[in-house]
Amino acid sequence: MVLDFNTLYSPFDRFDKLFEEFLSPGVAGRKSMAYPPLNLSQDDDTIYVRAEIPGVDMSGIELTLTDKTLVLKGERKAEEGKYYRQERPAGVFHRVINLNIPVQRDKVNATMKDGLLTVALPKAEEVKPRTISIDVK
């Protein structure tokens, strides 16, 4: 038995899409860059989310914590003027950070300094490492 996949899949379609992405001005760069850029890190007690959002007013930023996600929403206002080149993104942004560790919701802290938003999410006690004593008999 011979199966003919030519009607379902053409290798030339993939090449066409590849060339479209590379030859379209600015399209490839916009797809690969999420805004605002984030760093996620942790230590034994806390998960840290750091987002670069310079020039955004704090009143325009909304942080929402659910059981498993942290949602960062906001808007960066576009500057007026005629541009020859514009690389700084403007407009509404929305980032969803999945948290696979339960956190202490009442102790979450967010600070903004020099355009860097830092959200400290303390880990819940049940997920922190603990030392177990061994009874010798």
Q: How much is the pLDDT for 16? A: 62
Would you say residue 11 lies in a domain?
A: no
Asked if residue 75 lies in contact with residue 91, where contact means CB atoms within 8 angstroms, the answer is yes
CATH number at residue 41: 2.60.40.790
* pLDDT single digits (tens) 11-64: 556 656 665 666 655 544 444 567 899 999 999 899 999 999 988 888 889 999
Band (pLDDT 50/70/90 cuts) for residue 131 is: confident
Domain ranges, residue 92: 36-127
Would you say residue 105 lies in a domain?
A: yes
* pLDDT single digits (tens) 78-127: 888 888 887 888 889 999 999 988 999 999 999 999 999 999 999 998 87
Q: How much is the pLDDT for 30? A: 47
Band (pLDDT 50/70/90 cuts) for residue 137 is: confident
Asked if residue 114 lies in contact with residue 82, where contact means CB atoms within 8 angstroms, the answer is no
**Which tokens belong to 23?**
């030859």
Would you say residue 55 lies in a domain?
A: yes
pLDDT above 80 for 7: no
Q: How much is the pLDDT for 23? A: 60
Would you say residue 103 lies in a domain?
A: yes
Q: How much is the pLDDT for 10? A: 54
Would you say residue 30 lies in a domain?
A: no
Would you say residue 109 lies in a domain?
A: yes
**Which tokens belong to 6?**
């030519």
CA 47 to chain centre: 14
Would you say residue 137 lies in a domain?
A: no
pTM for the model: 0.68
How many domains would you assign to the chain?
A: 1
